[in-house]
Amino acid sequence: MYKQSFWTKLRRFFNPVVVTFITIFFLALFLMPFLYMIFTSLKSPNQFAALGAPIWPAEQPTLVYNGENAGTYTFQITQGSRVNDITIDMNDYTGKTLDILTVPMPDGSEQNLALVKGYAKESIFLDPDHPEADPILWVGSYRTLDRAWKFSPTWENYVEVWNTIDYPRLLGNTAFYAFTTTIGVWISCILVAFGFSRFSFPGRDFLFVVLLSTLFLPGAVTIIPTFTFFTKIGWVGTWLPLIVPAFFGNPYDIFLLRQYFMTLPRELDEAAMIDGAGPLKVLWSVIIPQSYPAILAVTIFHVVWAWNDYFGPLIYLSMEDQPISVALARFNGIYGRQPQLIQAGSLMTLIIPLIIFLLAQRFFIQGIVITGVEK
């Protein structure tokens, strides 16, 4: 009995620990590309060209010697098979920039020292924190030492991207596209989903199946006919080909809203009808207030889709009206050899949808979970 109780307690203790460890492990794997993007966006161009550079943003520190020590020192330096006396006048190094290397010390520790003069078997260093102190003779070749690195994010990358691609204008274009099409999705999808979930009419199920079948229609099939149609009516070069279709419904959003509406009790509709409410009044006063999680989920889905939409704005909009997705692709083609700028631009594009998702995360998850309940 004691053994069973012991193993039960042990299992109860380790189950949360194992689950937590596995969760943290997979979360770390999932976030690694995002962290790499952040680190890369903060690197300087010199760091990419340096050998042995760390993954995090850093720079190689140096010491500008300003003549703090005016002394003259003599060291015994091995040159070939002979040991010679080498005299170092510190005044000769005034105004010079000395590299800082990571030097292993006799006690087993490591210290960052500024290289004054390097030889094959000995090297002379200065303590960068105390340049007025005596030089240090270190036995060993400086060529085997690693450069020291210090954390130094290059925030100027974001400023350069902001000014180069005219980020405020692109952000305004993208926000306008996302906001106006979201209004269209609200109006059309909510009305259609309400009709499919609350009204009985001949062919309703067949029409719903036809609606869902459009999800399987490849977008490439409709590109040429759609573009030809918009060209003939003179809409190419304007926002109309992108905004107007949003007011005619989206099958995926209609499906999510319809599934959610069907989970709401019909008794609520009947109670409103007894009070004299018509169908639109029931929708506005009963269905929509109870469906905020699903509507918010649809909103986030559409905003993220509109924010990332590339092909539609590319073929329909003029250069001045293009959103940030198109401009960023063009920017990446021009600055392909400067990954720090590309990652900075990508992060600036990503940050607003990420903030929206984090603020609405609780309602978003609730809407997705409930719309998956079969009615």
Whether 130 and 205 map to the same domain: the answer is no
135 and 200 part of one domain: no
* Same domain assignment for residues 126 and 236: no
- Whether residue 224 is found in the same domain as residue 100: no
In the chain, the number of structural domains is 3
Q: Is the pLDDT of residue 271 over 50?
A: yes
- Asked if residues 98 and 65 have their Cβ atoms less than 8 Å apart, the reply is yes
- The answer on 288 and 229 residing in a single domain is yes
Q: What is the mean pLDDT of residues 81-106?
A: 87
Domain-embedded: residue 51: no
Same domain, 264 and 299: yes
Q: 56 lies in a domain?
A: no
Give yes or no for residue 134 having a pLDDT over 90: no
Residue 355 lies in a domain: yes
More confident residue, 219 or 195: 195
> Between residues 31 and 229, which one has the greater pLDDT?
229
pTM: 0.73
Whether residues 211 and 104 fall in one domain: no
Whether residue 179 is predicted with pLDDT greater than 80 in this model: the reply is yes
Q: Domain range spanning residue 93? A: 62-148
Is residue 121 located within the same domain as residue 203? no
Residues 31 and 144 in one domain: no
H-type helices in the chain, by residue range? 2-41, 45-49, 156-164, 167-198, 204-213, 219-232, 240-243, 251-261, 266-274, 279-282, 288-290, 292-308, 311-316, 324-334, 339-359, 361-371
Q: Which of 148, 176, 198 is the last residue of a domain?
A: 148
Same domain, 218 and 245: yes
Domain assignment present for residue 363? The answer is: yes
Q: Is residue 49 part of a domain?
A: no
Asked if 247 and 365 sit in the same domain, the reply is yes
